[in-house]
Chain A
Amino acid sequence: MFNRLRQILPPWHKDRRSEASNETLPADCSVDPALGDALDDDFTAESPPADGVKSLVDQMLAHHRCALLLRPQIAQNLTPELYAEAKQALNESMGLVPTGNVYLEPSVFDADYRAFASENSDRPHEFTVVVQSVYLDRYLVTNRQFQKFVNAGGYEEMAIWDEEIWPAVLDFTDQTEQPGPRFWKNGRYRSGEANLPVVGISWYEAVAYARWVGKRLPTEAEWVKAGSWPITLSPQTHLQRKYPWGDTFDRGKANIWGSKPARIVAVEEFSEGASVGGLYQLIGNVWEWTATTLETDPQPEEAVQGYETLLKTIRGGAFDTYFEHQANCHFSSGENPIFRKHNIGFRCALSICDIAVRPDEPLADAAQHVEALPDEILPNELANHTADQVIEEMPT
């Protein structure tokens, strides 16, 4: 796979780790170094067949790896048709979260919580962060999608795993000691569970999968912004939803304890609870790993030994979450990144600056320019503009 991918990489990509090649990349964008290592390690100099590009693109799209195809250094070598095909796949599988501010309520376990609870409760702007435009998967990663990663040898491709976790990767096995999520058997998901979100995976497995498809895990702020869809009317007026559908909980719109299924359901169910941006099951069904670290107070035994386990934040609640207020856009929990729980899955994110943008694309695809737009242009008007038009309208 990596050999074939390399066939459509531009020549400079061979030396992209050199300083000169980095200048070729767009500002504040970088190719994942781990992924790059994987490409380099498997690189061979054999020349590709002329019609190999199309089949490769098809294969990558079948593996839900359109994000890789849209990396600037790859996309510029695709024909317009193939590029459009990849872009369509991206738009179908991911929803865009526009640039803007989001208010992050600190977790009760966070050191910031004390300040939030006492001194700064009347100054919520101190807990507001800016999120750049980002794509998030419309659906949680399913067993079927993860199966492709397992089949492609994702657990053996050490370059996409964090180095500190290498010794533990061998231990990430299923019930029959095959590489794969904890509840699988013989390296396969159980029959009838293809469209269920993959669970029983550690944070590191989620990160490795995300890298394999050319994406990453969303940060906590990105996740909250996707769900609560905040609107800043003025510097003092900030509207933000509690749930993706509004401010009142509705058991018909999210799968938590007390909702009828009482088990994990397919990723496309509970469609009424989708966010404004068209993201499904942000609330309920399974918790979602995020890239953010939850810095709790050290454990007593850890304090003595001088180390501590940093938890990774999980968001959204699961099918067995008991309290409604723990399954909303503001509540965050944490989990040991190495634990493989029955109710934690993930969805991937992709920074908009990590994908190629062509001048003739609709505005939604050029959302990195949104933050530079004049204030009087409201987001709903932007849909009628093309990227070129907006860029022309932008102040110099």
Chain B
Amino acid sequence: MTNAVLPLDSYRLAQYAVQVPCYICEQGNAFDAELCRHCQAPMALARQVHMQKILPQMIATVGSSGVGKTVYLGMLLDMLSRMPDQIQIVARGAFSVTLQQNVMQSLARCEFPAKTPNEPDRWNWVHCQVRHPKVKDPFELIMPDVAGEALLEEVEHPFSYLAIRSFLMKCGGAMILVDTTCLDSGKRAQDYFTLKLLTYLSELDNDEKTSWQNRPVALVFSKADQCEDCFDDPQIYAQRHTAALWQFCRERFRRHKFFAAGVAGGTAMRTAPGVGRVRAPLRIEPRGIIEPFTWIVGQVMAKSQQPTGWTIKRQK
């Protein structure tokens, strides 16, 4: 006969009775859910918000598949975590460091990181604390690494990815990446995709005060190391190479700016063991990575200290 005391789990029933809202889609979930059962975003974000009693800002980094979103985000996080005299980023939770770690390890081996899977539960939802020299208090920020193909699917067929839609509804601003090498080679696919994305954003929210017309949008020409002209003046480059995009932004987005960014100093083909011939970075020399982020954070913070598009009350 054992003297062990069996725990009384009835309090768990009470916890299950209270739905915990997902921080991204605001749909109810069980208190111990790992992922939101509606949008597959990690519930860790909601728990962190609950513990810290602060609603994080959200900034989107979006663009077509292969445009360099993962590399850009990973590089940005790594650079800002190493620069004490500028904007500083401090990761919240181990899963927020994963993106940074994966990207840096790949680049150090002269490889680009693997393609981001389409499933939201496999994205890296970076949650970090940002210290801005012009802002008194540090603020929380969420920046997921969204898969380009999933984004395209959602843009083409709205509501196919609830996580993306909900996230973009709430974002304070967006950094939209455009592949410079494609533009340079005369391919218009980038132009069209970015136009679709901007159209999608502009139709997400019809409220005159909170619509995307008033939210900051940074258009970042990625892989600009392949095109030095782009660094000279991104605005003029946009006007000459993506006239439709440039015109659309002028008409629909009051706060937008063009940037150029590059991570690899150059690329070449290499034969990697077990992978075959792949394009790989010849060396890593980041350029223009921090500028778009600094601008957009400044814009977001200047507009409001409160996150955009929220229906739930700020938790005190």
Contacts and interface: CB of A to CB of B under 8 A. Distances in A.
A334 B268 contact: yes
Scoring B82, B265, B277 by chain A CB atoms within 10 A of each residue's CB, the highest score goes to: B265
B284 interface: yes
Interface string B277-316: 1001011111100000000000000000000000000000
A326 B284 CA distance: 8
Given A108-B270, A335-B266, A297 B284 contact: no
B82 A258 contact: yes
B269 A325 contact: no
A320 B288 CA distance: 11
A336 interface: yes
Nearest to A175: B232
Interface string A225-248: 000000000000000000000000
B136 to A, nearest CB: 27
Nearest to A322: B284
Contact of B284 (A311, A323, A340): A323
A117 interface: yes
Contacts of B277: 297, 300
A336 B282 CA distance: 11
Interface of A: 108-109, 113-114, 117-118, 182, 257-258, 294, 296-300, 311, 317-318, 320-323, 325-326, 331, 333-336, 339-343
Interface in B72-121: 82, 107-110
Contacts of A299: 268-269
Given A109-B280, A334-B268, A334-B282, 9 more contacts: A117-B273, A297-B268, A300-B269, A320-B286, A323-B107, A323-B284, A331-B283, A333-B266, A342-B228
Contacts of B269: 109, 296-300
A114 B271 contact: yes
Given A257-B285, A322-B286, A341 B280 contact: no
A175 B79 CA distance: 31
A114 to B, nearest CB: 7
A333 B108 contact: no
A108 B285 contact: no
A326 B280 contact: no
A66 to B, nearest CB: 34
Contacts of B270: 108-109, 113, 296-297
Nearest to B278: A297
A317 B277 CA distance: 25
B118 to A, nearest CB: 25
Contacts of B109: 108
A301 B108 CA distance: 26
Contacts of B266: 311, 333-336, 339
Interface residues of B, number: 21
Nearest to B83: A258
A257 B289 CA distance: 13
A297 B282 contact: no
B284 A321 contact: yes
Contacts of B107: 322-323
Contacts of B286: 257, 320, 322
A325 B265 contact: no
B82 A333 contact: no
B166 to A, nearest CB: 35
A233 to B, nearest CB: 32
A298 B286 CA distance: 25
Nearest 3 CB-CB pairs, A to B? A297-B269, A333-B283, A322-B284
B283 A321 contact: yes
12 contacts: A109-B269, A109-B282, A118-B273, A296-B270, A297-B271, A311-B268, A321-B284, A323-B107, A333-B265, A342-B228, A343-B265, A343-B285
B229 to A, nearest CB: 11
Contacts of A320: 285-287
A325 B273 CA distance: 21
Contacts of B271: 114, 297
Interface string B221-255: 00000001000000000000000000000000000
A321 B273 contact: no
Contacts of B108: 323, 325
Contacts of A341: 228, 265
Contacts of A322: 107, 284-286
A109 B269 CA distance: 7
A297 B284 CA distance: 19
Scoring B82, B283, B286 by chain A CB atoms within 10 A of each residue's CB, the highest score goes to: B283
B268 A109 contact: yes
A185 to B, nearest CB: 13
A209 B287 CA distance: 29
A145 B232 CA distance: 26
Nearest to B109: A108
Contacts of A325: 108
Contacts of A331: 283
B68 to A, nearest CB: 15
B230 to A, nearest CB: 13
Contacts of B268: 109, 294, 296-297, 299, 311, 334
Contacts of B110: 108-109
B273 A333 contact: no
A220 to B, nearest CB: 15
A300 B282 CA distance: 17
Nearest to B287: A320
B112 to A, nearest CB: 13
B162 to A, nearest CB: 37
Contacts of A108: 109-110, 270, 280
Contacts of A343: 265, 285
Nearest to B232: A175
A80 to B, nearest CB: 48
A109 B278 CA distance: 10
Nearest to A320: B285
Nearest to B111: A108
Contacts of A336: 266
Nearest to A319: B285
A36 B286 CA distance: 43
Nearest to B185: A301
